[in-house]
């Protein structure tokens, strides 16, 4: 097991390239199961979650080749069972359920693992499958779905805490091969859903409305192979923007989509930073003093829950009182206790973190609890005085491609060591 050691207080300057989106790549790779033809996916990030997904595809019978960020999948014949031992490490493995149901009209997938950030049920996925005509049974930790045929339906995917991204992906993938028209109401609007829909359309699907709250899917008889380039990872881009804010210097990020980052850049501008650029390039640097902020996570296009922990790290040294309210995963605050070990003054009030800015943070041994919490601790370590040791960094490798190397190239004093 590795840990990351950071000696804080060194400004970041320079340019970093953003990798392909993890949250796009995983469902897009799963969607290759919908056809017997080869599919070529470009800009696939080198992440442990991607490795797990490729292992799942291979277990299900697909031929998988990977070289320099390009993955080729040919699923000429597939099995419809994904047992616990191959899905337990990653929550997104549940997204093979939709394509297996669409193609084979049956699937058995063990309930997956993943980050510990509170209850993330799949009831909305199953509701969608039932509306398409599938019988659903959950027993012994497995989900079994079976349908002699799938038919179009109108389905609402609104849950207790808003929309579901993976649920929208899953139902969309099942519906592309259903008879008739499927209308997904209260669909997730995230760019990653749009990216998946664009890939499915390249395969011959007929999907309109992706990016809005209503997606319309006209079922087709079969899909064919396609090539596709994964969109840039907006969460990685956002994390490097905050790295530039917390320890810049002047940091430029390449290969980004401005429209995907609007909620974050608005928040950073409100905090007193300059953020600007053109043609897929964004630069951030200090523009006066850091200011406090009150924000609330929301489904896209609101402020993303996957940037909440990183924003807490930034606001920990903002003068005055700030607050961050988590409306999507109310229990997603396990990073708070670790930030407090570094000197942050943060108190939880229900689903709101109340932050009183301190003059500085100090390095300390801390424990990563989930993917984005890990990133927040790295960011705090960049600013903290002294040495910060971050343990259980395998979480970071799930969602950030060479984060420590990229930060090192910007000037961070950071190293990865074997424990």
Distance CA 332, CA 116 (A): 8
Distance CA 108, CA 96 (A): 10
Distance CA 313, CA 223 (A): 45
Distance CA 315, CA 355 (A): 7
Distance CA 415, CA 419 (A): 12
Phi, psi of 305 (to 5 degrees): -60, -30
Q: Is 114 helix (H, G, I), strand (E, B) or coil?
A: coil
Q: Is 336 exposed, middle or buried (0-12, 13-18, 19+ CB in 10 A)?
A: buried
Q: Give kind and range of the element (H or E) at residue 184.
A: strand 181-185
Can you say how many angstroms the Cα of residue 135 is from the centroid of all Cα atoms in its chain? 29
8 contacts 385 by C-beta, under 8 angstroms: yes
Tell me, what DSSP letter sits at residue 347? Answer: E
As a whole number of Å, the end-to-end CA separation of the chain is 6
Tell me, what DSSP letter sits at residue 43? Answer: S
Question: What is the arrangement of strands in the sheet containing 63-67, beginning at the earlier edge strand?
Answer: 63-67, 70-74, 38-42, 227-229
Q: List CB contacts of 139: < 8 A, sequence separation 6 or more.
A: none
Q: List CB contacts of 120: < 8 A, sequence separation 6 or more.
A: 91, 114, 329
In DSSP terms, 73 is beta-bridged to: 39, 64
Active-site residue flag, 95: no
Tell me, what DSSP letter sits at residue 305? Answer: G
Distance CA 64, CA 58 (A): 6
DSSP per-residue letters across 248-284: EEEEEEES--GGGGHHHHHHHHHTTEEEEEETTEEEE
Which residues form the catalytic set? 115
């Amino acid at each position: 097991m590795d840990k990351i050691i950071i000696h804080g207080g060194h400004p970041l300057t320079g340019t970093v390239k953003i990798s392909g989106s993890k949250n796009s790549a995983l469902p897009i790779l799963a969607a290759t199961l919908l056809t017997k033809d080869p599919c070529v996916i470009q800009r696939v990030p080198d992440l442990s979650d991607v490795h797990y997904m490729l292992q799942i595809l291979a277990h299900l019978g697909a031929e998988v080749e990977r070289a320099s960020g390009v993955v080729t999948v040919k699923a000429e014949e597939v099995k419809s069972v994904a047992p616990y031992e191959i899905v337990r490490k990653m929550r997104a493995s549940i997204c093979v359920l939709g394509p297996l149901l669409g193609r084979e009209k049956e699937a058995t997938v063990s309930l997956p693992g993943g980050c510990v950030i509170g209850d993330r049920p799949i009831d909305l996925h199953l509701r969608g499958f039932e509306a398409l005509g599938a019988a659903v049974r959950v027993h012994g930790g497995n989900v079994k779905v079976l349908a002699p045929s799938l038919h179009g339906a109108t389905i609402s995917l609104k849950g207790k805490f808003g929309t579901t991204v993976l649920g929208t992906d899953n139902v969309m993938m099942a519906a592309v091969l259903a008879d008739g028209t499927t209308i997904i109401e209260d669909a997730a609007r995230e760019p990653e859903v749009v990216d998946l829909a664009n890939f499915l359309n390249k395969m011959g699907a007929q999907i309109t409305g992706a990016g809005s709250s209503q997606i319309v899917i006209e079922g087709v008889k079969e899909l064919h192979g396609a090539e596709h380039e994964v969109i840039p990872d907006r969460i990685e881009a956002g994390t490097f923007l905050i790295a530039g804010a917390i320890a810049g210097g002047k940091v430029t990020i390449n290969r980004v989509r401005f429209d995907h980052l609007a909620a974050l850049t608005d928040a950073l501008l409100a905090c007193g930073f300059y953020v600007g650029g053109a043609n897929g390039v964004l630069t951030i640097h200090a523009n006066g003093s850091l200011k406090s902020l009150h924000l609330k996570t929301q489904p896209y296009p609101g402020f993303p829950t996957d940037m909440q922990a990183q924003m807490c790290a930034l606001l920990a040294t903002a003068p005055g009182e700030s607050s961050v309210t988590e409306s999507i995963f109310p229990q997603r605050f396990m990073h708070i206790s670790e930030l407090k070990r570094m000197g942050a003054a943060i108190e939880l009030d229900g689903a709101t973190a109340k932050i009183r800015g301190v003059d500085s943070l100090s390095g300390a041994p801390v424990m990563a609890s989930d993917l984005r919490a890990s990133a927040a601790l790295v960011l705090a370590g960049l600013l903290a005085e002294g040495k910060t040791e971050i343990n259980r960094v395998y979480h970071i490798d799930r969602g950030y491609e060479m984060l420590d190397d990229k930060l090192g190239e910007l000037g961070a004093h950071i190293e990865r060591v074997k424990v």
